[in-house]
Amino acid sequence: MKRNIIIGVACIIVAFGAIIGLAKACAPQTDPTPASSVATQSKNKKTHHKKAKKINAAIYRPYKDPKDLRKAGTWKKKSETKKHPKINPNETDLTLRVSLKGNRTYLLRKGKVIYTMLSTGGIYKKGKSLTPTGKYTIQGGRGDSFFNYNLGEGANNWTSWSPDNVYLFHSVPTKGDGTYNLKEAKKLGQTQGSHGCIRLSVPDSRWIMNNIPNGTKVVIKDK
C-alpha cells in the first residue's frame, strides 16, 4: 500500500510539473524591446517617409528648378522673377514641355529651357493622369475666360493644345462668381488637381495666350 501511495504522489508531482511547463509554453512572449524604443523607431520611420516624399518630387522633374523660381503655390505672379522671354510670332523651334508629376511646365527653345513655370496637371486615378500624355501642338483656340457648368469650374487666359479645345493651358480655376478658387490655386506647382487641363499662374497663362505661336510643339509626360 505504501508503494501505491508513493507511486500516486510521484504521478501527481509529474502531472503538476507538466501543467507548469505547458503554462510557460502557452504564455505570450515578452517583447524585449522597450516601449520607448518602439516609439522612437516608429517616429524615425515616419520622418524618413516624409523626407522620401520631398526627394521624389525633385526626381520627377526633367530639369533643375532655376534659382529665381518662386515658391510653389504662387499663382498671382509669374513663376520666375525675371521677365518672360521675348517670342517671335514666327518661331518654329519652341516646345512647351509638361511634367505632370513634377508640377512644372518648361518653355524650350532649340531644346534648351528658357523659362520654367509652376503648373498643375490632371489628377491621377488608378495610376493614370486625367491629362493625356503625348505630343500635341498649340491650336488657334484662345480666350479670356470660360466656365464649365458641368464641373462647376472655370478659368481665365486659356490656350488650346487639342483640336477640339477640350484640353487647355489656363489660369488657376475660378468659381461661378468669377473669383479664383483659393484652395485649388494653392496646389499650383505642388500637386495635381485638374480635370485634364494644365493650370498656370495668372500672369504665365496670360503670357502664353498672348505670345506662344500656333503650331508650337507641346510634349506632355508623367515625369
Number of neighbouring beta carbons within 10 Å of residue 161: 23
Catalytic residue among 26, 48, 49, 170: 170
Catalytic residue among 11, 26, 84, 197: 197
Helices (H), the chain: 2-26, 35-59, 182-185, 202-211
User: Nearest Cα to 204, choosing from 90, 36, 82?
Assistant: 82
3-state DSSP call for residue 88? coil
11 is catalytic: no
Grid cell at residue 222: 508623367
84 is catalytic: no
The residues with which 69 forms a beta bridge, in sequence order, are: 80
79 vs 198: CA distance, rounded Å: 14
Q: Which residues are catalytic?
A: 170, 197
